């Protein structure tokens, strides 16, 4: 058991405490001399073999201790009283902490779901009070309370946190219980004041509400001749719905190209904030996005009221909220570090290197030639969403809509069908029922999402997708399959993982991976095709490569924007907008202009995730890579059984999870190698 506590850098936390004292106003009253004195006292009490564990635990508590928690003498007394030396008693403490935290996190999550129902579910018009409740963070004071009654300090003392480097070096030799102990330490690695956490939750909720209500009525779009190009009433959310409509138009020949170009113009105006406010979430006016001309129902020209920089102000608001939190994370003092090293457990430099390797690859450029041959024309910027390697791209959208609508008329029917969907994918009847009973389907106000449970009793994972009048169309079902993949992961990794602190996946990219796996099986579930032949597999590989090429560039923009924010912390929304436009064009010119034949295109800045889920975008391309390696592993194996085995590993670190799950580390090389072979098959 002691091997868990091999201390790579004993002075690390000591120096972190002092660094925090010097560089911020955070109140840290315990200095390194007191830490060392307390360590020596505990070593005398419990013996030299426990020194490394004592050093780590005491230093961890010292980094979290504030004057309000007690005097220096109180700190020493606390450590002497609550350090658990006996392995059996320590394991008992771990079980008690796990049970208590499951209830606290579980019920807090349930409460958050209920408070956010009005803003996230389809229904009545939103009111101001709905937004206030949605912005209420049910866990904002939880950490404060746990430290105030010393539970947090007891956990930190006996289950201290490990750095990313230490997990990577030591984790390969850890047992399951040792990993579980380390994950307990992660829960108490920092101490952010409740008011700061609440401020970020409020800023994030406001951004999410803004995006959820940003719909464009395509039925009101007109071309230069004044002709409507889309069915009346077709209203799509930005950017997801607009993007999916571009994909759907590949089956419509030249008319499809014209429609795609019109949507592309809409996207450019969303990015530069020149969309008239009158057409956002409204169908009252005819709008030509190329000229920005508006006409009312009588054909009278209406002056457009250009939208202010609301899109970019939401990013600014979230940046300031995160920057206020920075001082309370001595080891990871920026949001960039916390997201990549803390949440993803990958450094931002490693992620960027991974992405650049693919977007600059020869394989992507070779694939471009195949796509142009299939389209019979040169690529245009919106072809970044080319969908022609998917079987659905050859099926008219109306046919797909009819099939989906006839089977999934509403949320209750989809929920009733979940066991059958799982059985179609190979899950046993018992497992299909077990998972489906723990998933609840609801009609979403926005594009849709999944929200897992944090406790094994009383709660369920939520699957939310758009449910238009007349039944779920194909786009909605495709998204629903993606979200169902999340729900399956959330259920397996909560109920089938051996320790509560190990529940979940290494990072959000891994849940995205299973969501992609499920999403690609949508036609199989609809009874249209099974895939599995050599050409279908080759097409799936090339689809993954092109999808990675698209989203990796967007992610590089997102990362660069947050670096710019930290370099320009006093920036206005207008300054940020100009920076985003410049960064998006620079990334485009570096990795996309040679393929699409156009420079200075800002399209990579369209993603709504940049506004409502800062830095989350990087999880998608990593998820695509994991998805590909999973799919390769599934070939010739029992799909459902392997999903259960692999995801029941829980929260190992990313590379260890991959090695034990599919037998190889996370890399772009398997996808690039397979893509080369797939292109040879196509040619």
The Cα–Cα gap between 619 and 339 comes to 10
Peptide bond into 239 cis (omega under 30): yes
Which residues lie across from 294 on neighbouring strands? 287, 302
Q: What's the gap between Cα 505 and its chain centre?
A: 12
Residue 134: its pLDDT value, please?
A: 87
Please check whether residue 5 is in contact with residue 52, taking contact to mean a CB–CB distance below 8 angstroms: yes
Query: What share of residues in the chain are helix, strand, coil (percent, to 5)?
Result: 65, 5, 30
Tokens representing 610 are 């940049």
Residue 219 is given by DSSP the state: G
Angle at 393 between CA 390 and CA 396, to 5 degrees: 150
d(CA 601, CA 565): 22
User: Cα separation of 559 and 681, whole Å?
Assistant: 36
Residue 586's contacts (CB-CB under 8 Å, 6 or more residues apart) are 560
Matching residue, tokens 């949320």: 411
State which H helix or E strand residue 194 sits in: helix 194-212
Does an H or E element contain 293, and which?
A: strand 293-295
For residues 11-42, one letter each, b for 16 or more C-beta atoms within 10 angstroms of the residue's C-beta and e for the rest, the string is ebbbebbbebbeeeebebbbeeebbeebbebb
Angle at 188 (CA atoms; ends 12, 326), nearest 5 degrees:
70
Find out whether 605 and 273 touch, Cβ atoms under 8 Å: no
8 Å CB contact between 236 and 262 = no
Cα-flanking dihedrals φ and ψ of residue 36, to 5°?
A: -65, -40
Provide CB contacts within 8 A for 483, sequence distance 6+. Answer: 448, 449, 450, 463, 464, 465, 515
DSSP string, 444-489: BSSSEEEE--SSSSS--EEEEE---TTS--HHHHHHHHHHHHHHHH
Domain map of the chain by residue range?
Answer: 2-209, 336-389+531-682, 396-526
**Residue 553 near residue 588 (C-beta atoms within 8 A):** yes
Burial label for 586, CB within 10 Å (0-12, 13-18, 19+), is middle
Give me the average pLDDT of each 10-residue run along the chain (683 residues): 34 39 65 96 97 96 94 97 97 98 96 91 86 87 92 97 92 97 95 91 92 94 91 91 93 91 97 96 94 92 92 98 92 93 94 97 97 96 92 76 90 95 97 98 85 96 85 88 96 98 96 94 84 76 95 98 98 98 98 97 97 94 94 95 98 96 95 94 79
Q: To which residue do tokens 């998805």 refer?
A: 627
Task: Give one word for 621, left, alpha or beta, with left for phi > 0 and alpha for psi -120 to 50.
Answer: alpha
Q: Are 202 and 119 in contact (CB under 8 A)?
A: no
State the residue for tokens 């097409």. 539
The answer to whether the Cα torsion of 423, 428, 429, 430 is positive or negative is negative
- Structural contact between residues 666 and 654, judged by C-beta atoms closer than 8 angstroms: yes
Distance separating alpha carbons of residues 207 and 225, to the nearest angstrom:
36
Terminal Cα distance for the chain, rounded: 56
pLDDT at residue number 393: 64
Task: Name the β-bridge partners of 11.
Answer: none
Q: What is the pLDDT of residue 391?
A: 65
Q: With contact defined as beta carbons under 8 Å apart, do 260 and 246 qualify?
A: yes
CB neighbours of residue 75 within 10 Å: 21
Q: Cα–Cα distance between 116 and 131 in angstroms, integer?
A: 8
The 8 Å CB, 24+ separation contacts for 17-23 are 17/59, 17/62, 17/63, 17/330, 19/330, 20/63, 20/327, 20/330, 23/327, 23/333
Rounded Cα gap, residues 215 and 230, in angstroms: 15
Query: DSSP label at 330?
Result: S
Nearest 10 degrees: CA dihedral of 496, 497, 498, 501?
-140
CB-count exposure of residue 129 (10 Å: 0-12, 13-18, 19+): exposed
This prediction's pTM: 0.83
CB 459 within 8 A of CB 491: no
C-alpha separations of 678 from 366, 524, 541, 637 in Å: 11, 22, 7, 21
What's the pLDDT at 119?
Answer: 87
The reported pLDDT for the residue numbered 366 is 97
Q: Which two tokens stand for residue 566?
A: 């930290």
CA proximity to 130, closest of 140, 110, 115: 115
pLDDT at 45: 96
What tokens does 24 get? 């911020």
Instruction: Name 443's bridge partners.
Output: 465
């Amino acid at each position: 058991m002691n091997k868990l506590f091999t201390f790579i850098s004993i002075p690390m936390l000591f120096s972190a405490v002092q660094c925090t004292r010097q560089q911020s106003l955070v109140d840290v009253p315990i200095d390194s001399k007191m830490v060392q004195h307390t360590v020596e006292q505990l070593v005398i009490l419990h013996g030299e073999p426990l020194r490394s564990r004592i050093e780590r635990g005491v230093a961890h508590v010292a980094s979290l201790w504030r004057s309000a928690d007690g005097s220096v003498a109180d700190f020493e007394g606390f450590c002497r009283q609550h350090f658990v030396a006996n392995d059996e008693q320590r394991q008992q403490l771990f079980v008690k902490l796990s049970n208590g935290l499951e209830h606290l996190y579980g019920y807090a999550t349930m409460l958050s779901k209920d408070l956010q129902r009005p803003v996230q579910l389809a229904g009545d018009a939103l009111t101001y009070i709905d937004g206030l409740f949605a912005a209420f963070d049910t866990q904002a004071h939880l950490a404060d309370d746990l430290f105030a009654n010393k539970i947090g300090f007891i956990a930190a003392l006996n289950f201290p946190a490990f750095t990313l480097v230490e997990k990577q070096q030591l984790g390969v030799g850890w047992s399951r219980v040792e990993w579980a102990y380390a994950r307990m330490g992660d829960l108490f690695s920092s101490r952010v004041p409740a008011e700061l956490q609440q401020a970020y939750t409020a800023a994030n909720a406001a951004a999410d509400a803004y995006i959820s209500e940003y719909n464009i009525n395509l039925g009101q779009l007109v071309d230069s001749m004044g002709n409507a190009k889309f069915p009346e009433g077709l209203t799509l959310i930005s950017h997801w719905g607009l993007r999916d409509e571009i994909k759907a138009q590949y089956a419509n020949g030249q008319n499809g190209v014209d429609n795609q170009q019109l949507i592309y113009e809409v996207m450019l105006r969303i990015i530069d904030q020149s969309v008239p406010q009158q057409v956002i979430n409204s169908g009252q006016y005819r709008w030509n996005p190329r000229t920005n001309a508006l006409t009312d129902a009588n054909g009278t020209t209406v002056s457009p009221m250009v939208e202010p920089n609301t899109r970019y102000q939401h990013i600014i608001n979230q940046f300031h909220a995160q920057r206020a939190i920075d001082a309370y994370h001595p080891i990871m003092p920026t949001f960039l570090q916390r997201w990549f090293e803390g949440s993803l457990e990958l450094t931002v430099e490693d992620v960027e290197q991974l992405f650049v390797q693919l977007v600059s690859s020869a394989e992507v450029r070779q694939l471009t030639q195949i796509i142009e041959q299939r389209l019979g024309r040169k690529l245009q910027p919106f072809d970044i969403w080319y969908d022609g390697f998917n079987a659905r791209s050859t099926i008219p959208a109306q046919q797909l809509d009819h099939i989906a609508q006839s089977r999934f008329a509403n949320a209750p029917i989809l929920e009733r069908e979940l066991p059958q969907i799982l059985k179609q994918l190979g899950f046993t009847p018992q497992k299909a029922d077990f998972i489906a009973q723990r998933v609840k389907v609801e009609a979403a106000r926005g594009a849709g999402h999944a929200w897992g449970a944090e406790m094994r009793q009383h709660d369920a994972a939520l699957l939310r997708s758009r449910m238009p009048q007349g039944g779920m169309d194909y786009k909605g079902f495709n998204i629903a399959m993606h979200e169902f993949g999340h729900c399956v992961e959330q259920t397996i990794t909560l109920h089938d993982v051996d320790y509560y602190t190990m529940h979940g996946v290494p990072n959000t990219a891994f849940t995205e991976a299973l969501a992609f796996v499920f999403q690609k099986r949508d036609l199989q579930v609809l009874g249209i095709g099974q895939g599995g032949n050599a050409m279908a597999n080759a097409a799936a590989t090339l689809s993954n490569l092109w999808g990675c090429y698209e989203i990796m560039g967007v992610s590089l923009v997102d990362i660069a924007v947050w670096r710019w924010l930290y370099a320009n912390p006093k920036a206005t929304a207008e300054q940020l907008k100009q920076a985003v436009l410049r960064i998006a064009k620079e990334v485009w010119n570096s990795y996309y202009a040679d393929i699409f034949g156009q420079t200075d295109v800002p399209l990579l800045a369209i993603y709504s995730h940049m506004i409502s889920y800062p830095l989350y975008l990087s999880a998608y391309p990593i998820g695509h890579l994991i998805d590909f390696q999973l799919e390769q592993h599934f070939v010739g194996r029992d799909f459902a059984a392997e999903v259960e085995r692999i995801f029941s590993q829980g929260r190992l670190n990313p590379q260890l999870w991959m090695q034990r799950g599919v037998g190889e580390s996370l890399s772009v090389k398997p996808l690039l190698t397979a893509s080369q072979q797939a292109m040879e098959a196509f040619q």
